[in-house]
C-alpha cells in the first residue's frame, strides 16, 4: 500500500508545484505548436481525447477544430499574460501579448502548453 501512495504523492506534489507557478497576471511563454482554443468545451473535449491516449481520435479532432478555426496552432513560442487558471479543470485562460494581429486576444490552453 505504501508503494502505491508514494508515486501518487509525488505526482500530486509535482502538479501542485507546477500549479503554483501559474499565477494570474504573470507573463509566460507558450510552447511552439501548442493548440490554442477559443471555447472551453472544445478544450475539455481535446483534453479528454488526449488523456485517453487515442491518437487517431485526437488527430481527427485536432484537424476538425483547426480546420474550422475553432482552435489555432502557432509555429513559434509566444508570450501570454495569465488571466486565470482553473486547477480543477486543468485549463488556463490567457491573453496573447506577443506583437501582431492576434495581440490582445483571449485563449484557453492546457497548462502543459506553458513553458517552464
- Mean pLDDT check: name the lowest of 5-14, 18-27, 29-38: 5-14
Residue 32 lies in a domain: yes
Residue 7 lies in a domain: no
Alpha-carbon distance of 20 to 116, in angstroms, equals: 12
**Total residues found in the chain within this entry:** 116
Alpha-carbon distance of 12 to 107, in angstroms, equals: 26
The structure's pTM equals 0.80
CA 63 to chain CA centroid, Å, is 17
Assess contact for 8 and 61: CB atoms under 8 A.
no
Domains in the chain, number: 1
Residue 45 lies in a domain: yes
- Reference 43, options 11, 91, 6; nearest CA is 91
pLDDT bracket for residue 37 (50, 70, 90): very high
Residue 88 lies in a domain: yes
Residues spanned by the domain of 51: 23-113
Amino acid at each position: 500500500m505504501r508503494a502505491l501512495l508514494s508515486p501518487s504523492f509525488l505526482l500530486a506534489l509535482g502538479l501542485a508545484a507546477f500549479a503554483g507557478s501559474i499565477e494570474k497576471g504573470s507573463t509566460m511563454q507558450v510552447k511552439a505548436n501548442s493548440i490554442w482554443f477559443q471555447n472551453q468545451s472544445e478544450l475539455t473535449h481535446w483534453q479528454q481525447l488526449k488523456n485517453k491516449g487515442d491518437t487517431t481520435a485526437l488527430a481527427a479532432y485536432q484537424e476538425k477544430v483547426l480546420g474550422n478555426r475553432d482552435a489555432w496552432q502557432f509555429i513559434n513560442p509566444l508570450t501570454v499574460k495569465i488571466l486565470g487558471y482553473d486547477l480543477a479543470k486543468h485549463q488556463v485562460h490567457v491573453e496573447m501579448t506577443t506583437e501582431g494581429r492576434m495581440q490582445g486576444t483571449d485563449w484557453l490552453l492546457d497548462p502543459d502548453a506553458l513553458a517552464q
